[in-house]
Amino acid sequence: MTNKILELKKNLRIKRKMRIRDKLKGTTTRPRISIFRSNKYLYAQAIDDVNGVTLATVDGMKLKLGNNKDQAEQIAVVFAKTLKDKGISSAIFDRNGYLFHGVVKAFADSLRENGITL
């Protein structure tokens, strides 16, 4: 793809991201779970927007897991365990401008299966 098309796709994702973030606010009892997809890895964090604090994180690179559906489910299992250890059972899912499809959907569904209410 040309640079012009890539820049357009990036700008469209950023617009979606800002539209979503305007509506979602995380709290200490119900944090916002934000994900980020790079070309190789998947990252997620639970954020308390009221206090501006990150409560929990998971890093696909440190777990040596990539960015596909099966590995996103494994990352979500680890993240759900971390959240439960911190006493968090309910959260708001922030897809960060990505379409709720494929890896993002697999991650969210796996969180739900492991006891985190989204």
Q: What is the pLDDT of residues 20-60, one digit of tens each?
A: 888 878 778 889 999 999 999 999 999 998 898 999 999 99
Please report, for the domain that includes residue 7, its CATH number: 3.30.420.100
Q: 118 in a domain, yes or no?
A: no
Domain that holds residue 103: 3-113
What are phi and psi for residue 66, nearest 5 degrees? -90, -145
Within a domain: 83:
yes
The CA distance from 57 to 63, in Å, is 12
DSSP E strands, the chain:
32-37, 42-48, 53-59, 92-94
- With H, G, I as helix, E, B as strand and everything else as coil, classify residue 27: coil
Instruction: Please report whether residue 81 resides in a domain.
Output: yes
87-108: per-residue pLDDT in tens? 999 999 998 888 899 999 999 9
Please give the structure tokens belonging to residue 5: 């098309």
Give a yes or no: residue 67 inside a domain. Answer: yes
**What is the number of other CB atoms lying within 10 angstroms of the CB of residue 76?**
25
91 belongs to a structural domain: yes
How many folded domains does the chain comprise?
1
